[in-house]
Amino acid sequence: MKEELIERLTRYAKIDTQSDATSDTTPSTEKQWDLLRVLEKEMTDIGLEDISVDENGYLFGTLRSNTEKQLPTVGFLAHIDTAPDYTGTNVNPQRIDNYDGKDISLNESTIMSVQAFPELNNYIGHTLITTDGTTLLGADDKAGIAEIMTAMHYLVEHPEIKHGKVRIGFTPDEEIGLGPHKFDVERFGADFAYTMDGGPLGELQYESFNAAGVEVIFHGANVHPGTAKDKMVNSLLIAAEFQQAMPQHEIPQETEHYEGFIHLMNIDGSVEKTTYDYIIRDFDRDSFEARKQLVQDTATQLQEKYGQHAIELTVTDQYFNMGEKITPVMEIVDVVADVYRSLDIEPKIAPIRGGTDGSQLSYMGMPTPNIFTGGENYHGKYEFISADNMVKATQVIIETLKLQEQRG
């Protein structure tokens, strides 16, 4: 199993599937189809059924039930795209067997040191897959794909392991927040699902942020500064007042765990016009709404001071805390936690300080917690993954289906 996982991940990682947030197509990049076509053929080769890929790049397949019990249909999902903010072109995975706990030379000029990355101490004796220091690895989420495909292959080859109907799905554009936007939950047909899209060993996540995007446009009036008295209105200064009214310590770099924030992401400004882009994140729905209200109240106060025309505000909800939809069916989380323990894995149940496809899919009617894949330092040249922990993630898939059948 370990060698199969390494082979799959290495092969998938070499296929460039970066998504593009500026695109208006789905998938956002044509090259995502290269991996979809590979996976479609492999799904057929290992014996899956009902394989289909729609015009938007959502690839689904079925592992038929082999039990007489009437069980819910379970889904497993992973995304094919890699992050747009770090190159996925010419990925060259490197293998380190029996890691010795020392600094890792990715190339002649790039060292992944234990001092900078102390988590390496957790992987002594493991087989690691790293980058060559020039690209990301793409284990987010090609490791998830490899684990799902390997688990399905194993179950086909071992029909003595009883399980219900399984649906698997590979989706585009998760990294730009669009993974579920054209996901056909009815066509997928699962009662609930799991994303294989987590990080280190033991992660099990069923809570995510509530999320909103905010655009604020400040309008000014520009005249020659030598004759500007009582005429110039500087949009940059109005914008500065707005930001000053935001909670100064409730920002990403000063928050953790269940703490929320308002994050100023981008500024584009001049005297005449300034634009701010924010994101608002909070786990608690009431606190989330209060943050949005603060933004609105601040805009209103500045409109009263500078005129209604001085500020345009747009607040757009992006996704909500999937815990609201998963908590009523916590048995789908509990069964995975029990599997972890049976495999001597300590469940690390913590909120996702972000969102996954499951955040949106849970509100689309398919509760979808998130399971670890085994990787670290995603989205950059220091990304690596333990093949040993990939084996454990694959075993989690197999044993979860097995335990659900036994309890059914």
Listed residue (379, 399, 406) closest to 19, CA to CA: 379
> Beta partners for 82?
18
In the structure encoding, which two tokens stand for residue 405, read together?
């059948």
Q: CA-CA distance, 367 to 370, in Å (whole number)?
A: 10
In the structure encoding, which two tokens stand for residue 348, read together?
């690390």
**Where would I find the H helices in 133-284?**
139-157, 185-188, 235-244
Asked if 88 and 16 count as a contact pair (C-beta separation under 8 A), the reply is yes
Exactly one of 16, 40, 42, 81 is catalytic; name it. Answer: 81
Question: Regarding beta strands 203-205 and 348-349, do their DSSP bridges make them parallel or antiparallel, or are they unpaired?
Answer: parallel
DSSP per residue over 204-221, as a string?
A: EE--B-EEEEEEEEEE-B
Active site residue 312: no
CA dihedral 104, 109, 110, 111 (to 10 degrees): 40
In the structure encoding, which two tokens stand for residue 90, read together?
């010419």
Exactly one of 42, 147, 174, 376 is catalytic; name it. Answer: 174
**Cβ count near 3 (within 10 Å):** 9
CA–centroid distance for 30 within its chain: 21
In the structure encoding, which two tokens stand for residue 306, read together?
């500078």
CA dihedral 58, 64, 70, 75 (to 10 degrees): -30
Q: Is the dihedral of CA 201, 283, 145, 71 positive or negative?
A: positive
Active site residue 174: yes
Residues with active-site annotation: 81, 174
